[in-house]
Chain A
Amino acid sequence: SQQGEEDPQALSIQEGENATMNCSYKTSINNLQWYRQNSGRGLVHLILIRSNEREKHSGRLRVTLDTSKKSSSLLITASRAADTASYFCATGRAGSYQLTFGKGTKLSVIP
């Protein structure tokens, strides 16, 4: 079963608006990562947040992690049409090198 579950499943916003995607997971994690996928092909790593971190920034991306609620959010500020893609969270558990991915949020940014 999927460890991470993103919501919403799909999100459509106007260019310039902020986009927020959420991820919930079930078991204890070592870290949580966000990936982006264009056109159903290869994934691109965006950001990694460790279990002892609460917030992390990278450019227009802001990720938060709440281990008590087993949830994370990805905020993309000042969205652009080029941000249109699917976004996945992936969790890593101690004792395993596997990453477990959620089903993703499909973001559409309308110019």
Chain B
Amino acid sequence: GAGVSQSPSNKVTEKGKDVELRCDPISGHTALYWYRQSLGQGLEFLIYFQGNSAPDKSGLPSDRFSAERTGGSVSTLTIQRTQQEDSAVYLCASSLVAGLRETQYFGPGTRLLVL
């Protein structure tokens, strides 16, 4: 597609349920990033993937969070046993390759609300 797409746009779930958030990066981009943005805050890095290399999971806040990237393209961020503090906008970005000088292209985000 022309840009990064994410689904769903909005997700409301009950505390304790698991959720899956999906990201489709720009075709041909080998690097994919997940960020979390709480209300009125900046972006918090969660995880990034580069090609077939092991992902950098250093930003994941707890072991309830996990992400995978199948076939080097689509990525899924899974949050298990959701808590109210998980409520945030989850943003995905991709870049041609992983690199500090590479522009990251962001998707529209998934707004997650945990009741």
Contacts and interface: CB of A to CB of B under 8 A. Distances in A.
Interface of A: 2, 4, 30-31, 33, 35, 40-45, 48, 50, 88, 90, 92-94, 96-104
Given A88-B43, A101-B42, A103-B42, A42 B103 contact: no
A89 B79 CA distance: 28
B44 to A, nearest CB: 8
Given A43-B93, A98-B59, A99-B104, 10 more contacts: A30-B100, A42-B91, A42-B106, A42-B109, A48-B101, A92-B100, A96-B100, A98-B58, A99-B43, A101-B44
A97 B100 contact: yes
Interface residues of B, number: 31
Interface in B1-50: 4, 31, 33, 35, 37, 40-45, 48, 50
A48 B89 contact: no
Contact of A41 (B31, B41, B100, B108): B108
A57 B104 CA distance: 19
Given A45-B104, A48-B101, A103-B41, A97 B59 contact: no
Scoring B45, B50, B89, B108 by chain A CB atoms within 10 A of each residue's CB, the highest score goes to B45
A99 B48 CA distance: 11
B97 to A, nearest CB: 9
Contacts of B103: 33, 45, 48
Interface of B: 4, 31, 33, 35, 37, 40-45, 48, 50, 56, 58-59, 89, 91, 93, 98-101, 103-109, 111
B22 to A, nearest CB: 15
Given A45-B104, A98-B48, A104 B56 contact: no
Nearest to B111: A40
B25 to A, nearest CB: 13
Nearest to A103: B42
